[in-house]
Chain A
Amino acid sequence: MADEQDHLKRAEEREDLAPEEFEIVELEDRLELQDRCNANCKCPM
């Protein structure tokens, strides 16, 4: 059992167990941004 765990852990580190194989992807947080540079850079300061 310990050997199997060790093997799987190392396999995961090598990305052999990448969830992408099963098309499982963590979705990005949807943060709708607007940059504040417009408020700063375009000012004549």
Chain B
Amino acid sequence: MAATLAGDDLSAPTPESRLRETPQEPGLVRGADAGTACGPLGQHLVANPGLVVSPLDADAAEPMAVCELPVPGGRPVRYSMPIAVVELIELFDGRRSLEEVIAAYRARRPGRYSDEQLGRLVRGVLLPKGLILGTSSPPTALPPRDRRRSFLYFQLPLLSARFVEPVAQALRWAYAPPVLLAWLPLFVLLHWVFYVKLLPLQALDVNRLELGDVLLLMLLSTAGTFVHELGHASAAAFYGCKRLEIGWGMYLIFTVLYADVSDVWKLPRRQRAVVDLGGIYFQSVFLALLLALFARSGNVVYLFAFLFTDLAIASALNPFLRLDGYWLMSDLFGIVNLRQQSLAYLRRTAAAAVGRGPAQSPGPQLSRRATAALALYSVAGVAFFLVTAKIVLTQVVVRILVGLPEVLARFWLDCEIGAGALQIAARAGEILWRGLMVAGVAIMAFNVLVRLARAAQRRHQRTLATAPSRAA
């Protein structure tokens, strides 16, 4: 679905391609000052040859594009921007001066931006971000990315794209419409069998599980999560996406597995939504496997695993954490960077409530429908986080901290009496996940404090900057 930068018509789907002219290696910036706000003034500029442009299917008042830039040794960085800005970038052919480009753009899109705005756009945004480059100075590394909006504290790739992509490719058939349609009644039947036929007959009591059962349960749950991530990757592969990776990370107070499907930004919203639901789809197939294993063995651990996997599926639809429900909400309403937009909406609302001017929205102008959805989401999100914070603090952190000495003592005792390796491993695991949750809460609290401090600092700087003009 990507289109060429030089092809002009970005609304029409065309094969993915890069800029035709490649005067230098992608990812390198020519001009020692290219990373500053000023850029290499006085020299000719060229659109970054590594830039890949695709239409962005988002709720916006005008057509938008995704501009993907390669980052040497890292993930590509993607910007959403109006097609009007892409049209400006494509005018930088390495032969025209900045003034000539601005004149050409003004002739092409009269009234879109003033000369002053175009100058600021080029020098303050396009050059620092490496979207356009200087042509005459020695190359330097691309400027560092903006403060990454990564929501994972730690990221540890477990399965690289080299492994994930062939597997995901092999499973693409699962997204053929007849297969999807056939699975729906089976999904319903599966749940009917479990909740209506099996569960009432089984008195599932976690206290009756032996240590080996617990370990099997954890193993099955982990396998189910891998299957979930593979579901996202397979859906992305079905639509031709690349650079699919599965890894482990830490999000808020949770340890998580993730599938990196960032390439799906170039897809239409409906296809992105299928990718969002792909994890749940595959995990529901995993449920069928669990039920089959129970039917074969009669081991109730498989029923526990079914129940916990079903709970995991339900919790994945939560739109307020960056789980599947978040991306689904973002894609269904076409609101990119939903969390960022939600926070900005709350800031704007708060500013309006105290009589200050509205702040700039960090994204395209939304339609009424999307704005209403964003408002509802933002308000509900505040309520969700307040309730969750109270539960986390009172139920999780306090309980974990209070119970930690006893857990440590049990671990120490097991080591002293020479308990079995499994028993000691289980105790160590118990300490580990409790420690990770407390660490997660501490990191989250630290991040909140840092953000508040930065906001206060920015406000202070603004006050200082405007003070002289007021005095004048």
Contact = CB atoms under 8 A, between A and B. Distances in A.
Contacts of A15: 458
B225 interface: yes
B90 interface: no
A28 B81 contact: no
A11 B124 CA distance: 9
Interface string B308-345: 11011001100001111001000000001101100000
A35 B327 contact: no
A9 B148 CA distance: 20
Nearest to A39: B221
Contact of B36 (A9, A24, A28, A42): A9
A34 B429 CA distance: 19
Given A26-B77, A26-B149, A28-B149, A14 B218 contact: no
Nearest to B427: A45
A29 B327 contact: no
Interface stretch (B255-263, B382-390, B442-450): B255-263
A16 to B, nearest CB: 8
Nearest to B118: A22
Given A22-B85, A29-B150, A36-B256, A8 B123 contact: yes
What band does the interface of chain A fall in when counting residues whose beta carbon is under 8 Å from B? 35 or more
Interface string A28-42: 111111111111111
Interface string B150-181: 11100000000000000000000000000000
Contacts, number: 187
A27 B257 CA distance: 21
Contacts of B279: 32, 34
Contact of A32 (B66, B218, B261): B261
B178 to A, nearest CB: 25
Q: How many B residues are at the interface, by size bracket?
A: 35 or more
Contact of A38 (B80, B308, B365): B308
Interface string B203-234: 00011010000100110011001001100100
B294 interface: no
Contacts of A19: 124-125, 129
Nearest to B278: A32
Contacts of A10: 465
Interface of B: 33, 36-38, 41, 60, 64, 66, 75, 77-82, 85, 117, 120-121, 123-125, 129, 145-146, 148-152, 206-207, 209, 214, 217-218, 221-222, 225, 228-229, 232, 249, 251, 254-262, 264-265, 275-276, 279, 308-309, 311-312, 315-316, 321-324, 327, 336-337, 339-340, 360-365, 426, 429-430, 433, 458, 461-462, 465
Given A23-B64, A32-B229, A35-B321, 9 more contacts: A20-B360, A23-B80, A25-B336, A28-B336, A31-B262, A35-B312, A40-B429, A41-B433, A45-B430
26 contacts: A1-B38, A10-B465, A14-B465, A15-B458, A22-B117, A23-B80, A23-B82, A24-B85, A24-B129, A25-B79, A27-B66, A27-B337, A28-B339, A29-B262, A31-B151, A31-B259, A33-B251, A33-B256, A33-B257, A35-B255, A35-B315, A38-B308, A39-B221, A40-B433, A42-B311, A44-B214
